[in-house]
Amino acid sequence: MLTTTTFKRFLCNTKVVLNNIKSSHPQKPVSRFNAKHGKLFFLSNSIDLQSSFTATKNLVNPTYVSPLSVLKSSIILPLLPKNNIRLFSNTNLQSRSWNVFTASNQKYISLNRFQSYRNANGNNSNSTLTLTLFGFVFMGVTFFSTPYLFEYVPLFTYFKTHPKEMVYSIIGLNLAVFGLWQVPKYWRFLQRYFLLEKDFVYSKWSLIGSAFSQQEMWHLGMNMLALWSFGTGLSVMVGAPGFFSLYMNASMLSSLFSLWYPKIMRIGMWGASLGASGALFGVFGCFAYLVPTAQILLFVFPIPGGAWLAFMGSVAWNAAGCILRWGTFDYAAHLGGSIMGILYGWYFSELIKKEREKRMSLLRNFF
């Protein structure tokens, strides 16, 4: 049985222990920047809030509340948005010890433009099946409606007689999106509609928007150089409607391949995808199918064997990348665009054959 003196000594010792805990883990005040910008740019550098300190449990109250829990509930949670939470892809190297809270399985990576916004309840109505159906409907509508689009819509009717200007317009659109990526206030919009996440797709239109999106200058420069090199000649060869249909559907199929690849290979894919390379492999594949012996230059160095051999080499490289999983490129998207390019190359070649036979029959009838 405790005496009054013993009980007072016990309370005094407990108070000393709690004061030691508090003094060894003081709560830092919220900075003016975090207080103002926390909802959009909370802690822009990688941090580690886990502590190796193991606090002594409160002997008076059996329910132990750690200083970390107090920090989370009183300071950090009010700064986070109520309806949306911010999660991150693994475009940067990440460490499992970098969890924001010890009770969470999510990894916190340094703030960058590859963040994705998700609904707090974690529901995602855009399943892989839904996105696949949307993609096939989009490709079908694009294929059958493009001739009428270039026949009756004023802007597209201009491109019908000026196919190279349409290629320049696509390049200009990519440049505009690249410019928006340089302004942080537009990141949230761009992350939703111009960035393709594998595990959570905010909008179905990101399947197309991501094909017009580059964040780095070297990425933009390489893609636009390839588009200018192959696109201007191919657009004149097949016409503006055919090139537009090819470019849009190659973009869509490349995005679908990018989504299907993790499911087929049964691997986790957290990295976001963006870039016009999938559509460009479609343009390259169509060009190589129609003009297989055309000479291809890699910068200033000629590639032996012609366009078709160079294209098949790129297909083999992308297939090996999917199997061996080397590098950081989206090889599956490249393969999807390549397949669409071959299909359109066959389609255009059949149209050219029919047109040639029609002209030959007219000449025979005339003579």
Q: What is the pLDDT of residues 140-167, one digit of tens each?
A: 999 999 999 999 998 899 999 999 999 9
Model pLDDT, residue 92: 37
Q: Which positions are catalytic?
A: 277, 334
pLDDT of residue 32: 52
List of the chain residues with pLDDT < 50: 2, 17, 25, 27-28, 30-31, 33-65, 70-72, 76-77, 81-112, 116-122
Task: Indicate the average pLDDT of the chain.
Answer: 75
In Å, the largest CA–CA distance within the chain is 127
pTM to 2 decimal places: 0.68
pLDDT value of residue 63: 47
Give the model's pLDDT for residue 108.
Answer: 31
Q: What percent of the chain has pLDDT over 90?
A: 47
322, 331 contact by CB (below 8 A):
yes
Q: What fold does the segment set 128-365 form as a domain?
A: Rhomboid-like fold (1.20.1540)
What pLDDT is recorded for position 358?
82
For 96, residues 6+ apart whose C-beta sits below 8 A from its C-beta are 107
Tokens found for residue 232? 């201007």
CATH 1.20.1540.10 placement within the chain: 128-365
Alpha-carbon separation of residue 33 from 19, 36, 38, 236 (angstroms): 30, 5, 7, 54
Q: In whole angstroms, how large is the CA radius of gyration of the chain?
A: 29
Q: What is the pLDDT of residue 344?
A: 96
pLDDT in tens, 38-88: 433 333 333 333 333 333 344 444 444 455 554 445 554 455 544 443 333
Give the number of other Cβ atoms within 10 Å of residue 155's Cβ: 10
- pLDDT given for residue 126 in this prediction: 79
